[in-house]
């Protein structure tokens, strides 16, 4: 491969060397980008599945579990992305984000709330001064089937309304058709829109891995998004099944680890969709620790996109503090 030195992946022994070619050069032409992405080593599907399954069997108990639950709560992007969302529902969710369990002030606040662009202003007002960030999906979420102008305008609107983070979707159609340049340019354009208005909103790029068909494609899309300037790469919209499976998160964690080794830039990972239980969340944390390393175990670098997960985390937390199993009757519906 002319475009980079050796990028070693998945448990390979040996040093990870840096890219021999500058990032700008990779993105300089469609052919160069294509050659780079297709030059990435393939993912061993069986190996990835097996490693994720094996890490999923780790037993996390007592104090470690208590720590993991609090960490997971602080990493939650509390999400509501329904057609039936109302300003009132968003306000209620914001209250929950700041104080997840009204009866227990020792519960940490969540990382962010995630809403549609038109509801950002309400969420910003409700969360002012709380330290909880406001994320907004944009770019014709969830399908991403619109023109670049519309997507940029969508993003600019959310940023202007006060969103701290933008969750964009990539154009899966273009990606699957092999038009990587188009996907790249779109991410660059949205990144520019995030920086507009004198603000610097973080950009999360949703790969929608459930539509990418192969782990090789997940790896390519991860690198493509990171090269284009993503601050976070996110698995799914939550509207497509399968959403955030463990092996997919594993592949993405390997990508951010290798990207930092190659470029020095740190990118975060956000699995979203289908993470409903404390057990799922803890499996994800184990995966992070064993793949990207424990410096990724912070809300700045790892998030969990979820809605029903938070209640299960709270129920587990209450069970650990009271010694009796908790019931959903004593937590808010969402």
Partner 1 sequence: MTESGRLAVRKTYKLYIGGAFPRSESGRSYVVTSSKGDFLANASRASRKDARDAVTAARKAFPGWSGATAYNRGQILYRIAEMLEGRRAQFAAELADADGVSARRAGELADAAVDRLVWYAGWSDKIGAIRGAANPVAGPYFNLSTPEPTGVVAVVAPQQAPLLGLVSVVAPVIVTGNTCVVVTSERAPLPAITLAEVLATSDLPGGVVNLLTGRVAELAPWLAGHMDVNAIDLTGCDEELAVACERDAAENLKRVLRPPAGKIDWSADPGVERLTAFLETKTVWHPTGV
Please identify, using beta-carbon distances, which residue of 54 and 330 lies nearer to partner 1: 330
Nearest distance, CB of residue 324 and partner 1, angstroms: 4
Please identify, using beta-carbon distances, which residue of 149 and 329 lies nearer to partner 1: 329
Q: CA 277 to CA 313: how far, in whole Å?
A: 7
Q: CA 111 to CA 268: how far, in whole Å?
A: 13
Say whether 167 is catalytic.
yes
Identify the sign of the CA torsion 114, 119, 120, 121: negative
Contact predicate 112/134, CB 8 Å:
yes
> Is 327 one of the binding residues for partner 1 (CB under 8 A)?
yes
Neighbours of 63 (CB within 10 A): 9
- Joined together, the tokens standing for residue 190 give 């949205």
Please identify, using beta-carbon distances, which residue of 181 and 276 lies nearer to partner 1: 276
> Is 326 one of the binding residues for partner 1 (CB under 8 A)?
yes
Catalytic residue from among 101, 154, 167, 258: 167
Catalytic residue from among 96, 151, 234, 283: 234
Contact predicate 115/161, CB 8 Å:
no
Residue 135 DSSP code: E
Say whether 239 is catalytic.
no
Among 323, 332, 333, 334, binds partner 1 (CB under 8 A): 323
Strand ranges inside the chain, DSSP E = 76-79, 112-115, 133-137, 165-169, 202-206, 232-234, 268-270, 304-306
> Is 324 one of the binding residues for partner 1 (CB under 8 A)?
yes
Please identify, using beta-carbon distances, which residue of 23 and 320 lies nearer to partner 1: 320
Among 325, 332, 333, 334, binds partner 1 (CB under 8 A): 325
Catalytic residue from among 109, 191, 270, 283: 270
Q: CA 305 to CA 278: how far, in whole Å?
A: 13
Among the residue ranges 54-62, 212-220, 230-238, 317-325, the one whose residues contact partner 1 (CB under 8 A): 317-325
> Is 330 one of the binding residues for partner 1 (CB under 8 A)?
yes
Q: List interacting residues with partner 1 (CB under 8 A).
A: 323-330
Q: Which residues are identified as catalytic?
A: 167, 234, 270
């Amino acid at each position: 491969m002319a475009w980079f030195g050796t990028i070693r992946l998945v448990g390979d022994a040996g040093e990870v060397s840096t890219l021999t070619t500058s990032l700008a050069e990779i993105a300089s032409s469609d052919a160069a980008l294509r050659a780079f992405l297709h030059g990435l080593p393939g993912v061993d599907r069986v190996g990835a599945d097996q490693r994720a399954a094996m890490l999923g069997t780790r037993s996390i108990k007592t104090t470690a579990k208590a720590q993991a639950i609090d960490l997971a709560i602080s990493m939650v992007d509390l999400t509501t992305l329904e057609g039936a969302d109302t300003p009132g529902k968003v306000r209620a969710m914001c209250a929950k984000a700041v104080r997840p369990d009204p009866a227990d002030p020792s519960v940490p606040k969540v990382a962010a709330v995630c809403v549609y662009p038109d509801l950002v202003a309400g969420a910003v007002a409700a969360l002012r001064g709380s330290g909880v960030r406001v994320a907004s999906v944009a770019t014709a979420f969830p399908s991403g089937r619109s023109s670049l102008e519309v997507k940029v305008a969508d993003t600019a609107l959310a940023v202007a309304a006060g969103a701290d983070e933008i969750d964009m979707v990539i154009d899966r159609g273009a990606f699957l058709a092999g038009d990587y340049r188009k996907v790249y340019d779109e991410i660059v354009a949205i990144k520019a829109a995030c920086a507009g208005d004198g603000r610097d909103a973080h950009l999360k790029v949703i790969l929608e891995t459930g539509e990418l068909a192969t782990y090789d494609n997940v790896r390519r899309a991860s690198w493509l998004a990171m090269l284009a300037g993503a601050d976070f790469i996110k698995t799914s919209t939550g509207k497509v099944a399968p959403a955030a499976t463990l092996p997919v998160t594993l592949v993405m964690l390997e990508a951010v680890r290798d990207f930092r080794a190659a470029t020095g830039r740190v990118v975060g990972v956000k699995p979203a969709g289908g993470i409903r239980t404390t057990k799922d969340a803890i499996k994800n944390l184990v995966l992070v620790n064993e793949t990207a390393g424990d410096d990724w175990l912070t809300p700045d670098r790892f998030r969990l996109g979820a809605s029903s997960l938070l209640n299960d985390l709270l129920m587990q937390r209450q069970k650990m503090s009271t010694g009796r199993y908790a019931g959903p009757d004593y937590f808010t519906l969402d």
